[in-house]
C-alpha cells in the first residue's frame, strides 16, 4: 500500500508538535538543572546525611597569633619583592596580626589596605 501524500495542514501540525516537544524538553532540562543545583546547596548546607544523624565535627580554623618581628620583616621583604615585580603582595600582609605591624608607607598606594582602622575591633579582617 502506498502512503497518502500529506496535506498542508498535517505537515503544519507535525512541525508544530515537534517545536512544542522541543520547547517542553528544554524547559524540563532547565527544571532538572535547577533541581540538581538546589539539592547540591541543601547537601552542602546540611551535609551528605541530610542532617539526620550526628554531624561530623566542623574543622575550626586556627587563630593566627601575632608572629615575631623576624617573621613580620620576612613577610614585609617578600611583599616588597613581589611589588617590585609588579605582583600583588602576599595575602598574609593584609591579615589582622600583620596589618598593624607593617610599614605601609614603603608600599605603593594600590598595595596598601583600604583603611586599617575601619575594621579594628570587628570580626571582619578587611
pTM for the model stands at 0.37
Give yes or no: residues 73 and 114 share one domain: yes
Alpha carbons 94 and 82: distance in angstroms, whole number: 14
Residue 64 falls within a domain, yes or no? Answer: no
Residue 44 falls within a domain, yes or no? Answer: yes
The predicted model gives 84-96 an average pLDDT of: 83
Residue 1 falls within a domain, yes or no? Answer: no
Query: How many domains, the chain?
Result: 2
Residue 59 falls within a domain, yes or no? Answer: no
Mean pLDDT of the chain: 76
The length of the chain, given as a count of residues? 126
Q: Which of 24-33, 82-91, 98-107 has the lowest mean pLDDT?
A: 98-107
Alpha carbons 118 and 95: distance in angstroms, whole number: 13
Residue 124 falls within a domain, yes or no? Answer: no
Give yes or no: residues 85 and 115 share one domain: yes
User: What domain range is 75 assigned to?
Assistant: 69-119
Give yes or no: residues 79 and 113 share one domain: yes
Give yes or no: residues 73 and 115 share one domain: yes
The predicted model gives 54-74 an average pLDDT of: 65
- Higher pLDDT pick, 103 / 53: 103
Residue 114 falls within a domain, yes or no? Answer: yes
Amino acid at each position: 500500500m502506498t502512503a497518502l501524500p500529506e496535506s498542508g495542514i498535517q505537515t503544519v501540525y507535525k512541525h508544530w508538535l515537534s517545536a512544542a516537544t522541543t520547547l517542553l524538553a528544554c524547559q524540563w532540562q532547565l527544571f532538572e538543572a535547577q533541581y540538581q543545583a538546589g539539592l547540591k546547596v541543601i547537601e552542602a548546607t546540611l551535609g551528605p546525611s541530610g542532617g539526620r544523624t550526628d554531624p561530623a565535627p566542623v574543622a575550626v580554623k586556627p587563630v593566627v597569633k601575632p608572629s615575631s618581628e623576624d617573621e613580620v620583616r620576612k613577610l614585609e621583604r617578600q611583599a616588597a619583592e613581589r611589588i617590585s615585580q609588579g605582583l600583588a603582595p602576599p595575602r598574609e600582609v593584609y591579615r589582622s596580626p600583620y596589618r598593624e605591624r607593617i610599614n605601609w608607607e614603603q608600599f605603593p598606594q594600590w598595595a596598601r589596605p583600604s583603611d586599617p582602622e575601619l575594621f579594628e575591633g570587628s570580626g571582619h579582617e578587611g
